Structure 1
Amino acid sequence: MALREQYLIPKKYNNLSLAFMAVGLLSIIVLFFTHGTSSDPHEQTRFWASLLQNSVYFLLVVNASMFFICATTLAWGGWQMSFRRVTEAISACVPVIGVITLVILLAIVFGGNHEIYHWTDAEHVKHDAALTFKKGFLNKGFYTAWSIITVVGWWLLGKKMRQLSTSIDNDPLTIEEGKSYIWKNTVWAALYIILFSLTVMSSIPWFWLMSIDAHWFSTMYSWYTFASSFVAGIALITIYVVFLKNNGYLELVTREHLHDLGKFQFAFSIFWTYLWYSQFMLIWYANIPEETTYFEPRFQGVYRGIFFLNLIINFLAPLLILMKRASKRNYGTITMMSVLILFGHWLDFYQMVFPSVSKEHVPFMLADLGIALGFVGLIMFLTARHLAKHPLFARNHPFLKESIIHHT
């Protein structure tokens, strides 16, 4: 069987990605002129909060692909090798979206509007005991330095993993060379996992998201954020695998691989729910004012509907639909669930941000969804171009055979 190793970008796909980016750009322009240029700091906050929520969410989603690559590399797993280039292509979006996110974050920190990050107001910090206590790490300099180190680290280590993958496309390995190659991959994957643990699984959600409510904290917050972005990342990988299969590519991918991706979606949806319940119920049950203040606008205020819709989409739907073996092996069902999960966790990030900056009313979401479409278009554009640059199979990888004969 002749394999289609070279991806050709369909014209309709390219036009759709450009159209989505145009919608996103138009939404940013409209929101900028309706809110961003206002003399009212609260109106300006509406604009910057939307950019913050969308940029951070989609950056963490595309970065989840590299985490998936490195975690399976450390496990010496081979089942995923038949669609390895899909995960690599999605992770290649990190440098571009990372730079966009950094520009947005630093504009918020140094822009003079303190409504999102109250700790950026030096005068306010002087009269706030909690913020004074935290200023050793919660300050503009450390926030900026660690954010830049984080994004650059993701970029460089991700680039190294992709280079290792493509370096053997035209050079078959001997047994000894294969052992050395696997060990080298393992070492670089371990370095990435260490950085990922120090950022996504700990400090970065504190800075980028939790510090919006600088008086509140949760020891589960970073794991919660990781679970939300990772299951959305798996959903994005699944959508691309199904898309390429439907267009005659990835001939080595079978329903067995799709089944395993479905199991990842199901498992991490349950994991996300466990963290959701643990964080919410323990805080609400304890009823300590400085802790429940975070959930008050979400659980009892105007965001109550979004709060429970979030739970329905991200827990009940995956639980009821993906529990069955057949649904995880059905192209239509798994695609529908992947799209729903991506939207559901976008909604999760929405309720992480907006109830903290707009407690009295829920902003009209149309502009936020438009900006989200812009990021979707950008991911489509960048991912397709990376896919077209390299063979769709890691043809000489020592574990490729394991993926070909994979049975779950």
Structure 2
Amino acid sequence: RSLEEDRIGGTELHFKNYRKGATFLVFFAVFSSTSSWDWLMSIDVHWFSTLFGWYTFAGMWCSTMVVIVLTTLYLKKLGYLKKVNDSHIHDLGKWTFATSFLWSYLWFSQFMLIWYANIPEEVTYYQMRIENFKFLYFAMFVINFAFPMLLLMSRDAKRHAGILTLVGLIILTGHWLDVYIMVSAGSLGSNAHLGVLEVGMALLVAGLFIYVVLNNLTKAPLTPVNHPFLDESVHHEI
């Protein structure tokens, strides 16, 4: 329907897409949480956390914002997306900054509550990760929290393509480490190690993702010329 809207214009198809998008968000909120329980939390059989679904959702949201930022900056550098101005880039930088803080807040909330309660069935989750991945575990938190906070604090930094690209790559690395530790600590324990296979598979998946995204971007115009709110979006100054 999005391609059809590009050809026809008007508001009918736009609001149909709007309603479908809102419906999808409800299902995504539910299934992203249940999937994280089945695929990640269940690895540590006797452990559970009511914050875990929100925590993984925040990680996905932050990573998605970074991918949007990197894709936008790359296409703009190649001469596309000429209607995207510094204010649009600034907004993307603010979303990256905000979602990083949301993830950090949920990470600390989960850690603090379990540490304070000190219930054996719950603290084993962190005990395994701190004992076997002490450096990586806390480095992952610093990467995902401290770097975005320090580098994106100023207004100018959120508009600077080089800084946004650097922060984006750092955040993606940090969230990959987060998922790696979530999986490896529960499945391999002290036998886990970060080696060529783990890094190679991550790069392979990233390469396939980039290929699919860029290939699909060539099949349709990048600017929705008949979108009913295009002019309102273009004239954006902050």
Q: TM-score, normalised by structure 1?
A: 0.57
In structure 2, distance between residues paired with 1:312 and 1:205: 23
Match of 1:322 among 152, 157, 167: 152
Report the CA distance between 1:214 and its aligned residue. Answer: 1.8
Report the CA distance between 1:316 and its aligned residue. Answer: 0.4
Report the CA distance between 1:323 and its aligned residue. Answer: 1.2
Which amino acid in the other structure matches residue 77 of structure 2? N
In structure 2, distance between residues paired with 1:217 and 1:339: 31
Q: Which runs of structure 2 are paired with 1:232-247 in the superposition (5 Å)?
A: 232-247=63-78
Report the CA distance between 1:248 and its aligned residue. Answer: 0.7
Q: Which runs of structure 2 are paired with 1:182-197 in the superposition (5 Å)?
A: 182-197=14-29
Report the CA distance between 1:302 and its aligned residue. Answer: 2.0
Q: Which residue of 1 aligns with 2:178?
A: 348
State the secondary structure of the residue aligned to 2:82. Answer: coil
State the secondary structure of the residue aligned to 2:222. Answer: coil
Match of 2:219 among 383, 389, 405: 389
In structure 2, distance between residues paired with 1:229 and 1:386: 22
In structure 2, distance between residues paired with 1:265 and 1:276: 17
| Structure 2 residue 2 is matched with structure 1 residue 170 | no
Are the aligned partners of 2:148 and 2:167 in contact in 1 as well (CA < 8 Å)?
yes
**Deviations 1:222-268 (Å, cap 9, x if unpaired)?**
11001111101110111111111111111001111111111111001
Q: Which residue of 1 aligns with 2:161?
A: 331
In structure 2, distance between residues paired with 1:365 and 1:279: 29
**Deviations 1:338-370 (Å, cap 9, x if unpaired)?**
111111100111111111112224413221111
Report the CA distance between 1:319 and its aligned residue. Answer: 0.7
| Structure 2 residue 83 is matched with structure 1 residue 252 | yes
Q: Which runs of structure 2 are paired with 1:47-62 in the superposition (5 Å)?
A: none
Which amino acid in the other structure matches residue 332 of structure 1? G
In structure 2, distance between residues paired with 1:186 and 1:245: 26
Are the aligned partners of 2:9 and 2:228 in contact in 1 as well (CA < 8 Å)?
no
Q: Which runs of structure 2 are paired with 1:138-217 in the superposition (5 Å)?
A: 164-173=1-10, 178=11, 180-200=12-32, 202-217=33-48
Report the CA distance between 1:406 and its aligned residue. Answer: 1.2
In structure 1, distance between residues paired with 2:14 and 2:70: 28
Report the CA distance between 1:327 and its aligned residue. Answer: 0.6
Report the CA distance between 1:318 and its aligned residue. Answer: 0.6
Are the aligned partners of 1:297 and 1:304 in contact in 2 as well (CA < 8 Å)?
no
**Deviations 1:268-307 (Å, cap 9, x if unpaired)?**
11110110001011101111000001000212x0201111
Structure of higher CA gyration radius: 1
State the secondary structure of the residue aligned to 1:189. Answer: helix
Are the aligned partners of 2:55 and 2:106 in contact in 1 as well (CA < 8 Å)?
yes
Q: Which runs of structure 2 are paired with 1:243-392 in the superposition (5 Å)?
A: 243-299=74-130, 301-392=131-222
State the secondary structure of the residue aligned to 1:167. Answer: helix
Are the aligned partners of 2:5 and 2:14 in contact in 1 as well (CA < 8 Å)?
no
State the secondary structure of the residue aligned to 1:325. Answer: coil
In structure 2, distance between residues paired with 1:271 and 1:225: 11
Equivalent pairs counted in the alignment come to 238
| Structure 2 residue 24 is matched with structure 1 residue 221 | no
Which amino acid in the other structure matches residue 136 of structure 2? I
| 5+ residue gaps, structure 2 | none
| 5+ residue gaps, structure 1 | 1-163
In structure 2, distance between residues paired with 1:293 and 1:352: 13
Which amino acid in the other structure matches residue 20 of structure 2? W
Which amino acid in the other structure matches residue 14 of structure 2? I
Report the CA distance between 1:186 and its aligned residue. Answer: 2.2
Which amino acid in the other structure matches residue 167 of structure 1? E
Identity of counterpart residues, as a percentage? 42
**Deviations 1:59-101 (Å, cap 9, x if unpaired)?**
xxxxxxxxxxxxxxxxxxxxxxxxxxxxxxxxxxxxxxxxxxx
Q: Determine which structure has greater relative contact order: mean sequence separation of CA pairs < 8 Å that are 6+ residues apart, divided by chain length.
A: 1
Cα RMSD for the two superposed structures? 1.1
Which amino acid in the other structure matches residue 13 of structure 2? Y
Distance change >3 Å, CA 364–CA 310, structure 1 → 2? closer
State the secondary structure of the residue aligned to 1:251. Answer: coil
Which amino acid in the other structure matches residue 6 of structure 2? D
State the secondary structure of the residue aligned to 1:170. Answer: helix
In structure 2, distance between residues paired with 1:364 and 1:303: 10
State the secondary structure of the residue aligned to 1:269. Answer: helix
